[in-house]
Amino acid sequence: MYAFVCTFLYADYDDDSILPTPIKNNYKLPYSGPINKPQLIWKFKTSSSAIESIVTIDKNGTLYFGSNDNYVYALDSLTGNLIWKFKTKYDVKSSVIINKQGDLLFGSMDGYLYSLNKNGTLKWKYNAHSAISSTPNIDKENNIIFGDKKGYFHILDSDGDLIHKFRLTTSIKNTPIVDQNNNFYLGFERGIISFKKNGTINWHYKTRSAITSSLVLFNNTIFASSKDWKLYALSLNGKLQWTYQTAWYVTSSPVVGSDTIYLGSWDWSVHAISLVNGEGIWKTQPERSATMTYFAANMIVDENENIYAASRNDRIYCFDKRGKVLWHIVLKGEDVLGGISLHKNGTLIIPTSKGNIYAFKTKVTPN
């Protein structure tokens, strides 16, 4: 049995986890998704612009997400009705996170990091002077941390005032993660870097290609998906523990289960890998088609260790923990670019490349 040691975030979301939705989705969730093929319960249309962010769910069930139509939206999770929307000056590729004060935090490609009140009004904004696609995070001191397109790393206090700013690399697109000693970790085009609050580099591990998804921290191990076709497991001091080889790019974050880590790849497969030694347990190839069934978006795993994964042939799959396909649904020409979210009532929340949010749930048949 593994001990969960990622005690680095405090937030307001839909359960008592210590992680907000976009980041806790990298770990097994404490509730169940649909085992049987679900039905559409509502659909919300933003515009024709893609949604690249992951939908965040707060403890009251309100959904928050950004869109490439420049807006951040808040929806009622039961009905899909619009509660409010907030306009920025450019695309919002960042997911929304919620700090312990209840502020909604996200970056925009207009170069600002925004803080909104729960009613959608602006609390403050910080000018990074560069586009922000990275989802922010919160460190052990309740500071806001994020990177920008020019490769600068920013640390702000909860009021949006700058504490530190330093350049790490040419561009930062991923979410930084933090350990319990407030060391920061980041994947980028040249590998994995660990550094301190003042910018001092702890170590740098080079990979053969870019890391385009956020790292995952579990049991004092850093897991990193890379476009060099590998999943890396590193100790907190940057020592390689093991690697797992796929047959093509890996562009989504892995998801930690009970004793297994799950990974989607462009090799048409979802992989189940031992957390202990990196040995493959199974991989599944549900179907090959002319449009290709590669898994590029972030997956989720529910409390029963069922895996929900979006492929790039318009399909959402549910696999059981042995890799068997339980069901799939077809979105007809729409891909998932960010990832799926799961409401605690069992509803799958799915954002798409054509600006739609879908809610799917198994309907209960009356006796």
Are 227 and 250 in contact, with CB atoms under 8 Å apart?
A: yes
pLDDT, tens digit, 9 for 90 and up, residues 157-192:
999 999 999 999 889 999 999 999 999 999 999 899
Query: pLDDT confidence of 21, banded at 50, 70, 90?
Result: low
Provide the 3-class DSSP secondary structure of residue 173. Answer: coil
Angle CA 189–192–193, to nearest 5: 110
Query: What pTM, to 2 d.p., does this model score?
Result: 0.93
Question: Mean pLDDT in the chain?
Answer: 90
In sign, the C-alpha dihedral spanning 243, 248, 249, 252 is negative
Provide the 3-class DSSP secondary structure of residue 32. Answer: coil
For residue 277, give both structure tokens: 């030694």
Domains of the chain: 21-361 (2.130.10.10)
Question: Euclidean distance between the first and final Cα of the chain, in Å?
Answer: 40
Q: Is the per-residue pLDDT at 350 higher than 80?
A: yes
Q: What is the pLDDT of residue 180?
A: 92
How many other CB atoms are found less than 10 A from the CB of residue 264?
Answer: 30
pLDDT, tens digit, 9 for 90 and up, residues 270-302:
999 999 999 999 998 755 554 447 899 999 999
In sign, the C-alpha dihedral spanning 191, 196, 201, 202 is negative
Contacts of residue 366, Cβ cutoff 8 Å, sequence gap at least 6 = none
Query: E-strand spans in 149-198?
Result: 152-156, 162-167, 177-178, 184-188, 191-195
Q: Is the per-residue pLDDT at 25 higher than 90?
A: no
Q: Is the per-residue pLDDT at 3 higher than 60?
A: no
pLDDT, tens digit, 9 for 90 and up, residues 239-256:
999 999 999 999 999 999
For residue 26, give both structure tokens: 């990298």
